[in-house]
Amino acid sequence: MFLKKLKLTNFRNYADFEQEFNTLKTIIIGPNAQGKTNILEAINILATSVSDRAERDSNLVSWNNEYALIFADIQTKDDNLNIALQINSSGRRKLKINGVAKRAPQADLLGNFFCVMFSCEDLYLIKGSPSVRRSWLDSILFQLDIKYHKALQDYQKSVTQKNALLKNSYESGMSRKALKEQLDIWNEQIINFGSEILIKRLGFIEEIKVVAREFQKNISKGNEELDLIYQSTVTGITSNIDQMKISFKKSLEESFEKEIARGQSVIGPHRDDLTFLINEKEAKSFASQGQQRSIVLALKLSELKVIEHRKGEIPVLLLDDVFAELDESRQDFLLHNLPPNIQTFITTTHISDIQKELLENAKVIKIESGKVLNLVG
Ligand SMILES: Nc1ncnc2c1ncn2[C@@H]1O[C@H](COP(=O)(O)OP(=O)(O)OP(=O)(O)O)[C@@H](O)[C@H]1O
Ligand SMILES: [Mg+2]
């Protein structure tokens, strides 16, 4: 995939940004807080529909404006793709693909354009909270599988309703029997959507695990064996959907009292986690800073491979300020393990952090206060 042109209107600190890209590498350089990450964020939203940094859509719209526009011209393997996404501060979106208005702007955006974003925040993948790892899984699965996004949306709605019921049951003094009957309605939906999510997450982990293990072995010169284990609050997860539903139901039944006592839903993919092991030891507790960086690097390179394998398109790579965090050998490793024709956007405050090889034939864009200053190279 190749992003040929990006236009931003009232997006974050960009009133009006327009750039054409015709080199494989684009370096976005500028001091802190000028808008470098904002550009990558806009590109990433076109692939994942979400932004880790924005709690809500209104954060993406320039202050005192009603809506933001992200417009992109993309070259895919065998076609031209044109995406126009309007993000309203009210939270509503509008989407046109190749000039045709779409009815479901969130879901219809997915599966058209693919990205892998690698930023300093990704270092929290190992030691951060479970929600960081879940968001990581979700953002990749949104791109890989449109049905995953729908299942997750429906699942989250059911969990919200169930939580409201559990909370209200306290205040209203509802009988156990009545509560159980009402909970069963939501649990049935939670089992159906949740099992679909679990199956897709497990399938993805199995796939990325094989690739990531190979990368980790090579980064560590054969010393480190990486493993990924999906830790579910559902006991007895399996790759068979019918069996999964049975396990899910059983886990919910067993946690009935616990959920009532806590006043919230505690079983299901919204409470699951992922464990990384290095040589059979949990990375969260034992991995050094360097090892954590290597794992994240291995995961990001694997993300690229899995997306390429499943979608038949090389995703666009967004490297947000990661070079200050990667030493020379890891930078080398990254560089020499990328697909040859991958389009890469790199942000940095200091060009000296970036290896010379990466700067070759790169277009350099200087950013200051949401404006392109000048173009070099
Ligand atoms: N909704 C918004 N409207 C206007 N400005 C915004 C909005 N959201 C963020 N900003 C501004 O965008 C700037 C941050 O942009 P960004 O995160 O892209 O910086 P950066 O160049 O990547 O900085 P760093 O080098 O520190 O990572 C800040 O000045 C912030 O105030
Ligand atoms: Mg930044």
340 lies in the same domain as 227: no
Tell how far the Cα of 38 is from the centroid of ligand 1, in angstroms: 6
Residue 223 domain-assigned (yes or no): yes
221 lies in the same domain as 83: no
226 lies in the same domain as 330: no
Separation CA 122–CA 17 (nearest Å): 27
134 lies in the same domain as 173: yes
254 lies in the same domain as 213: yes
- 303: domain CATH number? 1.20.1050.90
* Predicted pLDDT at 170: 74
Whose C-alpha lies nearest to ligand 1, atom 3? 62
163 lies in the same domain as 283: yes
What lies within 8 Å, CB to CB, of 131 at 6+ separation is: none
Domain residue limits at 47: 1-114+313-377
Q: Is 133 in the pocket of ligand 1 (CB under 6 A)?
A: no
Tell how far the Cα of 184 is from the centroid of ligand 2, in angstroms: 46
Q: Is 365 in the pocket of ligand 1 (CB under 6 A)?
A: no
274 lies in the same domain as 306: yes
* Predicted pLDDT at 45: 97
DSSP 217-281: HHHTTT---EEEEEE-SSTT--S-HHHHHHHHHHHHHHTHHHHHHHTS--SSGGG-EEEEEETTE
- Domain final residue pick, 311, 332, 356: 311
155 lies in the same domain as 247: yes
What is the number of the ligand 1 atom nearest to the C-alpha of 34?
A: 21
Separation CA 132–CA 88 (nearest Å): 26
Residue 194 domain-assigned (yes or no): yes
321 lies in the same domain as 373: yes
Residue 237 domain-assigned (yes or no): yes
Residue 144 domain-assigned (yes or no): yes
The pairing of beta strand 67-75 with beta strand 14-20: unpaired
Q: How many domains, in total, are found in the chain?
A: 2
Q: Is 321 in the pocket of ligand 1 (CB under 6 A)?
A: yes
* Predicted pLDDT at 355: 83
Residue 300 domain-assigned (yes or no): yes
Tell how far the Cα of 49 is from the centroid of ligand 2, in angstroms: 19
Residue 224 domain-assigned (yes or no): yes
Residue 321 domain-assigned (yes or no): yes
47 lies in the same domain as 99: yes
Full pLDDT tens readout for the chain, 377 residues: 999 999 999 999 999 999 999 999 999 999 999 999 999 999 999 999 999 899 899 999 999 999 999 999 999 999 999 999 999 999 999 999 999 999 999 999 999 999 999 999 999 999 999 999 999 999 999 999 999 999 999 999 999 999 999 998 877 888 888 999 999 999 999 999 999 999 999 999 999 999 999 999 999 999 999 999 999 999 999 999 999 999 999 999 999 999 999 999 999 999 999 999 999 999 999 999 999 999 999 999 999 999 999 999 999 999 999 988 898 899 999 999 999 999 999 999 998 888 888 888 999 999 999 999 965 54
Residue 119 domain-assigned (yes or no): no
Separation CA 129–CA 18 (nearest Å): 37
Site to substitute for ligand 1 among 37, 88, 322, 354, most atoms within 8 A of C-beta: 37
- 349: domain CATH number? 3.40.50.300
pTM of the predicted model as reported, rounded to 2 decimal places:
0.96
- Domain final residue pick, 311, 344, 365: 311
Separation CA 91–CA 254 (nearest Å): 38
Which-ligand-closest: CA of 13? 1
- Domain final residue pick, 296, 311, 326: 311
Give phi and psi for 112, each to the nearest 5: -100, -45
139 lies in the same domain as 129: yes
42 lies in the same domain as 30: yes
